[in-house]
Amino acid sequence: MARPSALSRLDRRNGAPTIGIDLPLDNDLSVPTSGTRGVPNLVGHAERAALADRLGFAALWVRDVPIHDPVRFGDACTVFETFTFFGHLAVTTENAVLGTAAVVLPLRGGLLAAKAAASVDVLSGGRFVFGVASGDRAVEYPLFGVDFDRRGQTFRESVATVRAAWRTPLPGDGISAPELGLDAALRLDVLPKPVSGGIPLVVAGKAQQSLEWIAEHADGWFNYPRDLAGLTGQIEQYDSSQQGVGTSFATRMANLCAAEPDVVYFAGRGRDLAHFMSPLRTRPCADRKLIVLSGDDASQAATTAGFNEIKDTLESGNVQLIYTGLAHPGAWTTRGSAYPSAAVSTFLLSYQVAIWLATDAPLLATVSVALLGTYVGFYATSSRERLRGYLLMHAALGLGFLSKSAVAWMVPAMTILTLSIWEKRWRELFRWELYAGLLLQAALILTWVWFVYRGDNGAEHLKVFFWNNLVGRFSAVDAPPELQYAAAHRNFPGKYLIELPLYLFPWTLLVIAAARRAWRQRQTALHDNRAVRFALAALEPLGQLGDGLGLIAARRVGRSELEGHGRRCYSTPHPGPKPVAGAGGPRV
């Protein structure tokens, strides 16, 4: 999102803060000699605003209070209707930015708010900043026919409408606002258009939105007064990977100087690196040396319009940029020998452990528990015991699905199918106890689906999960490269079994000991070998998704049976289930 001109008036190249004034400049909340508390007398308000402009104050801010509520809130703010008041100030001032802090957007309606804001922007010569909020005065909403409880959704829709109304439609078309049912074919438009093609839109508070949404859809953020530590923490919650966040980096320089770091890790997109590097040159503590470590694709910065700003910052002498290159795919195919093996291996080990703990670790745990339930259910001697085992299996698989989608189902399912074929127990596939727990899984998964759907961009998130992440693991789907899950892990059959001894060492010695004990006991009665058969069924080719998980579960559930014969059982830890060859896992 391009940096709007009105916001640039509030940014000084030397990093010094600018100061604005909250109108009116009268006895807004002071004890008046006459009149009502909180209602300014507005004597000389225009002259005082013009004086503030001449003295060099950077901005004049006005809050929007549509209805005066002397009982619950007291203040009437500027008394005047906000945009009408700004029309007057646009004539009586020349330099100061005129801004709302903020307009209660759900009460205004997107189209009328867009027209009013654009009118002030044109009358003031592009000096307008549109601060918006969702509002917190519940008593006002029914008076305007707006649902207070839905104000968050109404706010999002109104922001989309305002943005659409400010854009100039293509020749022969009108503006498009699907949230209003307004189609471009109707050839309707809202005039005038803002001076710079858009007006900086700043969100006050959170407006019932997430910080990620604010970072993507707004040009700035008004926070409420609080202690410096709390204010800094709130600002740092912005996600630098979100589109448009580059425009907010300049506001963080004071926080950066206060922390006095020696190294800053830039985790944003390479194309936004220029937005981050440029303010570093003019930050208040520019005399301190600083190292910027980028683990992202910093090479993208060379193709951006701000590349010269990066060069200027580096040439200042106090900022050093280090690009590890480890995150760039080309690093391993074109310059693999350029990286010290010890440093690379340490980096990769930390990276692999981090991403494994996020998804594979809970998947390992849930599939192991599911195999325990599978063992109990398959070899149960009573219907009650069988139901108990399979319910445990389904409960664990429901949680496994939430950990890493439907891959959790494959190991127990293939294990049951293999055992049914091996032991010729086809009846097991038709027992009602095996399927009763599907209701439990449905309750877990559908509850999660409902809450995701009700959240921000819920339908889009579900599409990514069920189409790209689930269907896309087993076949190529039409999706952006970062969502092509089938191409994530390019493996050959048996790759993980070959690598397991290295991954598991020194626990590999326990696997060898367990295999040695199993070989010595190979003459044991067939009934006593069912734990071994179960483990092999979980490891067989149809179920190689689970690699060594079956061995873990089988050894655990078989302990009581084998110890009854005076034997010992060895449990082998495993780094987590891996994808079937060619299926692929998630891209991180």
**Is 362 found in the same domain as 319?**
no
In angstroms, the Cα distances linking 386 to 432, 435, 440, 560 are 10, 11, 16, 18
Asked whether residue 561 carries a pLDDT value surpassing 50, the answer given is no
pTM attached to this predicted model: 0.45
In this prediction, residue 547 carries a pLDDT of 40
What percentage of the chain has pLDDT greater than the value 90?
24
Asked whether residue 248 carries a pLDDT value surpassing 70, the answer given is no
**Is 303 found in the same domain as 356?**
no
Enumerate long-range contacts of 312-319, CB under 8 Å, 24 or more apart: 312/278, 312/281, 313/277, 313/278, 313/280, 313/281, 314/277, 316/281, 316/286, 318/286, 318/287, 318/288, 318/289, 318/290, 319/277, 319/280, 319/281, 319/289, 319/290, 319/291, 319/292
**Is 334 found in the same domain as 351?**
no
Chain-centre distance of CA 195, in angstroms? 33
Q: Which residue has the higher pLDDT, 59 or 549?
A: 59
* 45 located within any domain: yes
Mean pLDDT (the chain, rounded)? 75
**Is 355 found in the same domain as 398?**
yes
* 383 located within any domain: yes
In this prediction, residue 37 carries a pLDDT of 61
pLDDT bracket for residue 146 (50, 70, 90) = very high
* 485 located within any domain: yes
- Are 272 and 240 in contact by the 8 Å Cβ rule? The answer is yes
Chain segment 405-424, per-residue pLDDT in tens: 777 888 899 889 988 888 88
* 109 located within any domain: yes
Burial 93-112 (b: 16+ CB within 10 A, else e): beebbbbbbbbbbbbbbbbe
* 569 located within any domain: no
List all residues 6 or more positions away from 82 whose beta carbon is below 8 Å from its beta carbon: 62, 64, 100, 103
Chain segment 93-114, per-residue pLDDT in tens: 999 999 998 899 999 988 999 9
**Is 475 found in the same domain as 393?**
yes
Chain segment 55-64, per-residue pLDDT in tens: 999 999 998 8
**Is 502 found in the same domain as 458?**
yes
437's tokens: 């727990």
Asked whether residue 268 carries a pLDDT value surpassing 50, the answer given is yes
Which of the given ranges, 47-56, 399-408, 449-458, 550-559, has the highest pLDDT on average? 47-56
**Is 102 found in the same domain as 11?**
yes
pLDDT bracket for residue 485 (50, 70, 90) = low
* 509 located within any domain: yes
Q: Which residue has the higher pLDDT, 79 or 392?
A: 392
**Is 545 found in the same domain as 447?**
yes
In this prediction, residue 424 carries a pLDDT of 87
**Is 386 found in the same domain as 332?**
no
**Is 389 found in the same domain as 290?**
no
- Domain containing 154 equals 5-222
* 95 located within any domain: yes
* 58 located within any domain: yes
**Is 406 found in the same domain as 385?**
yes
Q: How far apart are CA 522 and CA 512, in angstroms?
A: 15
315's tokens: 């040439």
Q: Which residue has the higher pLDDT, 528 or 150?
A: 150
- Asked which of 303, 323, 339 is the last residue of a domain, the reply is 339
In this prediction, residue 250 carries a pLDDT of 64
Q: Which residue has the higher pLDDT, 413 or 468?
A: 413
**Is 334 found in the same domain as 315?**
yes
List, as one string, the DSSP characters of 400-435. HHHHHTTHHHHHHHHHHHHHHHHTT-GGGGG-HHHH
Q: Which residue has the higher pLDDT, 383 or 260?
A: 383
If one counts the domains in the chain, the total is 3
pLDDT bracket for residue 54 (50, 70, 90) = very high
- Asked which of 302, 318, 339 is the last residue of a domain, the reply is 339
Q: Which residue has the tokens 């302990």?
A: 559
For residue 268, count other CB atoms closer than 10 A to its CB: 20
- Asked which of 339, 360, 383 is the last residue of a domain, the reply is 339
The CATH code of the domain that includes 91 is 3.20.20.30
